[in-house]
Amino acid sequence: MTTRTSNMAAGFAFVAPALLIYLFYFMLPIPLSALYSLFKWDGISPMTNFRGLNNYIRLFGDSVFWISFFNNVKLVILSLVIQLPMGLLLGLLVSSRLRGLGAYKLLFFVPMTISAVAIGITWKFIYEPNFGLLNTLLIKIGLENLALGWLGEPGLAMGAVIATISWQYIPLYMVIFAAALSGIPRELTEAAYIDGASGLQTFLHVTLPLLRGSIRTASILSITGSLKYFALIFVMTEGGPNYASELMATYMYKQAFTTFRMGYGSAIAVIMFVLSFWVTILALRIGKQSEGLSGT
Amino acid sequence: MEPDFRRASLIRKGIIYLLATIWLIITIYPIIFLIQNSLKSNMDFFSGDPWDFPAVWMFENYTAVLEQDFFRYTANSFITVGVSLIILVLAGSLAAFGLSRIRFRFRNLLYLLFVGGLTIPIHITLIPVYNLTRIMGIYDSLGALIGPYVAFNLPVTVFILTSFMSELPRSLEEAAYMDGAKRLQVYWNIMLPISRPAVTAVIILDAVVLWNEFIFPLVLINSEKYRPLTLALWNFQGEFTAKIPLMMASLVLASLPLFLIYAIARERLIEGMVVGAVKG
């Protein structure tokens, strides 16, 4: 009995420093957001203007919120569809045991070490309509009519931003897949070759099924990660033009810190929390299910 | 048979190198473009072609940026990241020791509480953190950044350190306990030194994330003198709208520290970041 209580005390004593910081800055804000979201509040004057669920009712009728919501959905889907296959392709390339590809892998990873702010500003110069890298190249190779205002046109901005996000994050998936590929015994693929399977057949019937676990991991990562983008889009377009690349996170930021509608911003934050919680549970459940399948 | 086979594998090799080289250009050229244009004079840049090399190599651009209080911003980043890292490693490894080496009730619950933070987007805490920081009277100071920096990297730190420590054999500490050592001594003299590989991985991962952190400075810092590098870069955009080469030089300079760390740590940094991202 004494050892049990002393274990309890010791356990909590070791965890306490981390726990206190974590509870204060990370956990406490979640119920606080929910509380703020019930008020009309500018963040400075006393919080007295209780509005009940009014912020939420307005939010569901706010067309900009819906634009930002669907942009987030678009981002999740396009991240999955672009980053994972490209990551897998690069993973296969750098795992092919040819000379020099180890150095390629190290260079491919460089964008992952650069800050989103620096990447955002750099890509603004790449997309710049007049002196930008992309348009000057298009004009050089005779595609003048494709030289567009990439970040300035509502129809193009979101796509341009997603291309930049992919440029940064594809290497992460490359490394995940390369690690998984290095765990596949060479005899397996060689045996398939000897049995007369083509490269593509070997890939589809031997390699791909063995990668199921890392594909699952990468998908979960890509889905939950897509809800976290802020800095890159904020720096490149600030959500514009005309809300074309607005995300829930950028809209929340603007409401709270540009127009100082803290209550309304908090309502957006609460919706984001509920969504990310739900997506995580869903992803974990799908993960479990496919684990069960691969087990049989 | 034999030459045919060889030709096929030659073609295969050729395709692999071709694809890899195309992606290499896509990855690296934006960085070369930055460096190449950061060395042009303003005239040269606006009248010329971004694909050209500078007519005159303007290394002065870099000294001009360094004179823009660049050292102060760099120092701000170093201080906030450094202090946060020390707290993260100490608090994180203490917690990991408690969670992995002491059996007590609520242990799993506490672990889940930490790990649950991994998937929560940090932006949703922004408004309360801003408000709490104001209430504490530390808004617009370097100290305002430390708390959030530590809290939001604790989940991954605790996760990595706990999974490392829970795989160490019991026998390591038993002898020490027999000799009458206290738990804190076992933590400091035995577990922490043995966990060095995991601690290194955590430091690298957290350092990269924190060095590049942007949203907390954006919300919690107002004065120019407290800006860390990321926020300073963002503000340079306004100052340097007519001086693009200078803007580019500051981007290169701000990214340099992590490039250097990557050049030294290489595979280790990759591993650290992947572990941090995949987190089980």
Q: Please give the ipTM for the structure prediction.
A: 0.89
Q: Up-side HSE of residue B3: CA atoms within 13 Å toward CB?
A: 0
How much is the pLDDT for A166?
94
Domain ranges (residues) in chain A? 49-295
Identify the band that residue A48 occupies on the pLDDT scale cut at 50, 70 and 90.
confident
- Kindly state the average pLDDT of the residues A10-22: 94
Residue B142, pLDDT > 80, answer yes
How far off is chain B from A37, nearest CA to CA, in Å?
Answer: 10
Tell me the mean pLDDT in the region B256-261.
Answer: 90
List the 181-240 stretch of A: residues with Cβ below 8 A of B: 199, 217, 221, 224-225, 227-228, 230-231, 235
**One-letter amino acid for residue A218 of the chain:** A
The reply to whether residue B51 touches residue A19, judged by beta carbons under 8 angstroms, is no
CATH code for residues A49-295: 1.10.3720.10
Distance from CA of A155 to the nearest CA of B (A): 24
Higher pLDDT, A283 or B229: B229
Predicted confidence band of residue B58 (pLDDT cuts 50, 70, 90) = confident
**Helix and strand counts by DSSP (H, E) for chain B:** 15, 0
pLDDT for residue B279: 56
Residue B89's closest CA among B176, B17, B229, B191? B191
Q: What is the pLDDT of residues B202-232, one digit of tens each?
A: 998 899 999 999 999 999 999 999 999 999 9
Out of A4-8, B105-109, B205-209, B217-221, pick the least confident.
A4-8
Report pLDDT digits (tens) over A224-278: 887 788 999 999 999 889 999 999 999 999 999 999 999 999 999 999 999 988 8
| Mean of per-residue pLDDT scores for chain B | 89
Burial of B108 (0-12, 13-18, 19+ CB in 10 A): exposed
Report whether pLDDT(A155) > 50. yes
Angle at B60 between CA B55 and CA B65, to 5 degrees: 125
Asked if A25's CB is within 8 angstroms of B148's CB, the reply is yes
The pLDDT value recorded for residue A295 is 35
Q: What is the pLDDT of residues B177-206, one digit of tens each?
A: 888 888 999 999 999 999 998 999 899 889
Beta-carbon separation of B126 and A27 below 8 A: no
Q: Kindly report, residue by residue over A110-154, the tens digit of the pLDDT.
A: 999 999 999 999 999 999 888 888 988 998 888 888 888 889 888
User: Residue B5: pLDDT band by 50, 70, 90 thresholds?
Assistant: low
Between A201 and B138, residue with greater pLDDT: B138
Q: Which residue of A has its CA nearest to B261?
A: A113
A96 neighbourhood in chain B, CB within 8 Å:
16
**CB–CB of A261/A59 below 8 Å?**
no
Task: Using a pLDDT cut of 70, give the percent of chain B over it.
Answer: 96
The predicted pLDDT at position B30 comes to 92
* Cβ atoms of A72 and A226 closer than 8 Å: yes
Residue A1, pLDDT above cutoff 50: no
Q: What is the pLDDT of residue B1?
A: 44
**Nearest chain B Cα distance for residue A296, angstroms:** 22
The per-residue pLDDT for A146 is: 83
Percent of chain A with pLDDT over 90: 48
- At residue B41, does pLDDT exceed 80? yes
CA distance A20 to chain B (A): 9
Instruction: Determine contact: A29 vs chain B, CB below 8 A.
Output: yes
DSSP letters for A111-160: GGGS-HHHHHHHHHHHH-TTT-HHHHHHHHTT-GGG---TTTSHHHHHHH
In this prediction, residue A216 carries a pLDDT of: 84
CB A56 within 8 A of CB A269: no
Q: At what angle do helices A2-22 and B143-165 cross, to 10 degrees?
A: 140
Does residue A289 carry a pLDDT above 80? Answer: no
In this prediction, residues A168-195 reach a mean pLDDT of: 85
* pLDDT of B11: 86
Q: What is the mean pLDDT of chain A?
A: 87
pTM, full prediction: 0.89
Q: Do A118 and B28 touch (CB under 8 A)?
A: no
Using 50, 70 and 90 to split pLDDT, how confident is the model at B280? very low
pLDDT in tens, A53-77: 999 999 999 999 999 999 999 999 9
